[in-house]
């Protein structure tokens, strides 16, 4: 009985479980692709950071990442296909009608990211999703 009680007490007082988090191992400059040697795993438990090393490799740093610091989810993203001020093709599809025109990108963005673009013909700003070919799909 005494052993069982001691066992239960030890379970209640167990140390918290630590997870592994992704940290930068070198200084990674903004707008660079993250290579395998630039990040590693470290024991820790921080909310809002990456825990899968393979998910971070190949992404682009959105800001400078410093050695030993956790890589937060918003710190990395898909490699940019569109640069700020770049001329892009805007595509609008509705009910079988397709309209294509040129626009000027107002920010950098990667595939699948939302991007604000100024329509060069009407000078209005629209928001769309960057497609794999670098064009922007605008929805109504």
The overall pTM is greater than 0.75: no
Question: 95 vs 3, which has greater pLDDT?
Answer: 95
Reading the block at residue 40, the tokens are 């590693």
Reading the block at residue 57, the tokens are 């490799």
The mean per-residue pLDDT over the stretch 42-67 comes to: 92
What pLDDT sits at residue 14? 47
Q: What is the pLDDT of residues 56-103, one digit of tens each?
A: 999 999 999 999 999 999 999 889 999 999 999 999 998 889 999 999
| Bridging pattern class, strands 97-105 and 109-110 | unpaired
Domain ranges of the chain: 18-77, 80-138
Domain 80-138: CATH class, spelled out = mainly beta
Lowest mean pLDDT among 9-13, 49-53, 63-67, 125-129: 9-13
Averaged confidence pLDDT in the chain: 88
What pLDDT sits at residue 3? 59
Are domains 18-77 and 80-138 of this chain identical in fold?
no
State the residue for tokens 């070198």.
26
DSSP code at position 96: T
Tell me how far apart the alpha carbons of residues 103 and 48 are, in angstroms, rounded to a whole number. 34
Which of 3.90.1210.10, 3.30.70.120, 3.30.70.270, 3.10.105.10 is the CATH number of 18-77?
3.90.1210.10
Helix (H) or strand (E) holding 61: strand 60-61
Reading the block at residue 115, the tokens are 């991007």
Q: Which of 80, 72, 67 is nearest to 32 (CA)?
A: 80
Rg of the Cα atoms in the chain: 23
């Amino acid at each position: 009985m005494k052993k069982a009680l001691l066992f239960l007490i030890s379970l209640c007082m167990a140390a918290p479980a630590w997870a592994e988090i992704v940290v930068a191992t070198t200084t990674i400059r903004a707008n660079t692709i993250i290579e395998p040697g630039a990040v590693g795993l470290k024991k820790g438990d921080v909310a809002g950071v990456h825990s899968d090393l393979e998910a971070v490799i190949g992404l682009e740093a959105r800001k400078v990442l410093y050695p030993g610091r956790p890589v937060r989810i918003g710190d990395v993203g898909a490699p940019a296909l569109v640069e700020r001020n770049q001329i892009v093709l805007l595509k609008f599809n509705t009910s079988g009608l397709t309209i294509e025109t040129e626009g000027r990108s107002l920010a950098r963005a990667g595939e699948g990211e939302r991007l604000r673009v100024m329509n060069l013909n009407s000078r209005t700003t629209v928001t769309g999703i960057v497609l794999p070919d670098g064009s922007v799909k605008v929805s109504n």
